[in-house]
Amino acid sequence: MSHHHDSKEPKQKKKVQVATGDRAILPEGATTIPVYIMGKRYEVPETLTIMKAMEYAGFKFLRGAGCRGGICGACPTVYRKPGDYKLHFGLACQTVVEPDMYLAQIPFYPANRAAYKIEDLEPNPEIIFSLYPELFRCVACNNCTKACPMGVDVLGYISALKQGDIARAAEISFDCIQCGMCASRCMGELPQYHIAQLARRMYGRAIMPRARHLAKRVEEIESGKYDEMLKSLQTMSHGELEKRYKEREREPDMAPNGTWLPANDPYL
Amino acid sequence: MKVSYYPGCTLKTKAKNLEDAAVASMAALGVDFEELTRWNCCGAVHSLADDDLIHQVAPVRDLVRAMEQGSDKVVTLCSMCYNTLARANLLMRQDEVKRKTINDFMNEEKDYHGEVEVLHFLNFLRDQVGWDTVRNAVKVPLNGLKVAMYYGCTLMRPRNVAIEPIGDTRIMGEFLEAIGAAPVDFPEATTCCGSYQILANPEAAHDVSGRILESAIRAGAEAMVLSCPLCEFNLSKKQPEVLKKNKISREVPVYYFTQLLAMALGLGQEACRFDLNSECSVELLKNKNFPV
């Protein structure tokens, strides 16, 4: 599976080609680089993400892969680079391999999650304090923030919660994907990402302003305002539907915002 | 020169009366008093272990935040925040080896060498605002209100961060005089309130709290001011237990010093926040015909 640099083949002008996509068979002349996956060396095509490089190397993901789009939080990966004592963190599906990187995936990290029924909770910081008393073990070392592959200011939201500011914590932690890397590095042993999730739930349920137009629209739907229209569409012939579609009113391209309204507006 | 204000967590949760009154008072006095845009817990308690540097990281990080925002002074209201920040600052100024260790550990931040000065609000009032400015702005002089000046531990100990020379107990007196009140010095002004012993050993905490309240009463005080939410908890929130255990028959109204400032400046309830104090605190002010 590996294509070594030091091949004994006669020297010929190397055609530089970039490996793209997830093809397991390399295009001719594609450059490979060495990476160390859980301590073992593999030659993988450069430009691949860590996830594709691992699959190229023969790994199959049963866990540790999800959306492959950088949002599900299943593939957090920790790695080091030569000559650099720092730990680096990234999502395997989003991070491109670098020569000689040492990496391991940490698809799950144990962190206690408090049991609660969100419907029963007042949006009160005291409740968060009592469900997660570990909060106050934070020493502000900031290792959590350094470990976050999404660039969330973890210390920032933990501090906001200690200050009783649920809305701010919800805002700061919005990009959290629950991967658990913060918890893996915490010297106070906090389950940061579970605490942030509780904050966002409280915020969404009881603090965030409600959209009045949405409530109004739901009311209209429930009152049956749209029933007749839907029924007539459901029973309409294919030909009639097609005709209606073709004749539909369209907003002119590039019309400035808010300047166009359809003539047919009884359902607006 | 720019001054940043560091509130501390408790002022945002259980001691809003300490903060709201101060912020409104500064606005009324036209003093720039801007909260740091980012800050974390001060560390709450200074670690006495010489090699326990991780517990210096929290306060130092706050000082870095103040430096980042171009401030050369950071002001605190809470005595405990003042203490941890001031002591961490001293360490960063004086101990080269530890300073390097801490700066190396916090390598995502700018190096800090003690560039920022940590001030307690009382010192800020005296040195940056001035007692005359305060005096001239007073609309409701607290005439005849006899107030015990309770410092507690963390404003005065250790000596190298004390807000004034130990034994002086002058600054709180000057403050109270500026707002028209009558300061009452008393022997237990710097005795510990029992601090966190209230959790592990509440009886012991009630004993010292009782001694402090009794001493203030004996010195002729009608009320007490302080600047620490933990002292307030032990001496005011827990006062019913303290009075009972020590067989003290008189309640002692307790205020944050900032609340009396706000009242003297003629600010309303939303600034003074006496709603967060005990009933007897409000009653005393009503009996004195102060606007509450």
Would you tell me how many other CB atoms lie within 10 Å of the CB of residue A237? 8
pLDDT at A33 exceeding the cut of 70: yes
Identify the CATH number of the domain defined by range A118-207.
1.10.1060.10
Q: Which CATH superfamily is domain A32-105 in?
A: Beta-grasp domain (3.10.20.30)
Query: Percent of chain B having pLDDT more than 90?
Result: 97
Mean pLDDT of chain B: 96
Task: Select from A140, A162, A163 the Cβ nearest to the Cβ of B57.
Answer: A140
Mean pLDDT of chain A: 91
pLDDT at A21 exceeding the cut of 60: no
In chain B, residues with a C-beta closer than 8 Å to the C-beta of A128 are: none
> Is the Cβ pair B12, A163 closer than 8 Å?
yes
Identify the CATH number of the domain defined by range B3-122.
1.20.1050.140
Give the pLDDT confidence of A232-258 residue by residue, as tens digits. Answer: 999 999 999 999 999 999 999 888 988
pLDDT at A8 exceeding the cut of 60: no
pLDDT at A19 exceeding the cut of 80: no
Mutate to test the interface with B, among A159, A161, A168, A171 (most CBs of B within 10 A): A159
The full 3-state SS of B60-106, as one line of letters, equals HHHHHHHHHCCCCEEEECCHHHHHHHHHHHHHHHHCHHHHHHHHHHC
Confidence of residue A23 (pLDDT cuts 50, 70, 90): low
C-alpha torsion B201→B205→B208→B211, nearest 10: -120
* Fold entry, domain B131-287: Rossmann fold (3.40.50)
How far apart CA A140 and CA A163 sit, in angstroms, is 14
The answer to whether B242 and B210 are in contact (CB under 8 A) is: yes
- pTM higher than 0.80 for the full model? yes
Higher pLDDT, A158 or A8: A158
Confidence of residue B8 (pLDDT cuts 50, 70, 90): very high
Q: Taking residues B117-141, report their average pLDDT.
A: 97
- Residues 5-64 of chain B whose Cβ lies under 8 A from any Cβ of chain A: 7, 9, 12-13, 38-41, 43, 54-55, 57-58, 61
In chain A, residues with a C-beta closer than 8 Å to the C-beta of B58 are: 139-140
In chain B, residues with a C-beta closer than 8 Å to the C-beta of A138 are: 40-41
Nearest residue on chain B to A168, alpha-carbon basis: B38
Element (H, E) at B258: helix B257-264
Residue A1: per-residue pLDDT: 43
Q: Where are the domains of chain B?
A: 3-122, 131-287
For residue A235 the two structure tokens come to: 């029973």
Residues in CB range of B274: below 8 A, 6 or more apart: B17, B255, B259, B281, B282, B285, B292
Residue A18: per-residue pLDDT: 55
pLDDT at B223 exceeding the cut of 70: yes
pLDDT at A7 exceeding the cut of 60: no
Predicted interface score ipTM higher than 0.85: yes
In chain B, residues with a C-beta closer than 8 Å to the C-beta of A162 are: 9, 40-41
For residue A189 the two structure tokens come to: 């042993």
Give the pLDDT confidence of B59-94 residue by residue, as tens digits. Answer: 999 999 999 999 999 999 999 999 999 999 999 999
Confidence of residue A11 (pLDDT cuts 50, 70, 90): low
Query: Percent of chain A having pLDDT more than 70?
Result: 91
Residue A22: per-residue pLDDT: 54
Task: Select from B7, B55, B108 the Cβ nearest to the Cβ of A142.
Answer: B108
* A139–B contact, CB cutoff 8 A: yes
pLDDT at B54 exceeding the cut of 60: yes
- Residues 175-204 of chain A whose Cβ lies under 8 A from any Cβ of chain B: 187
Angle of helix B96-105 relative to helix B79-94, nearest 10 degrees, comes to 110
Q: Where are the domains of chain A?
A: 32-105, 118-207
Give the pLDDT confidence of B225-269 residue by residue, as tens digits. Answer: 999 999 999 999 999 999 999 999 999 999 999 999 999 999 999
Residue A268: per-residue pLDDT: 79
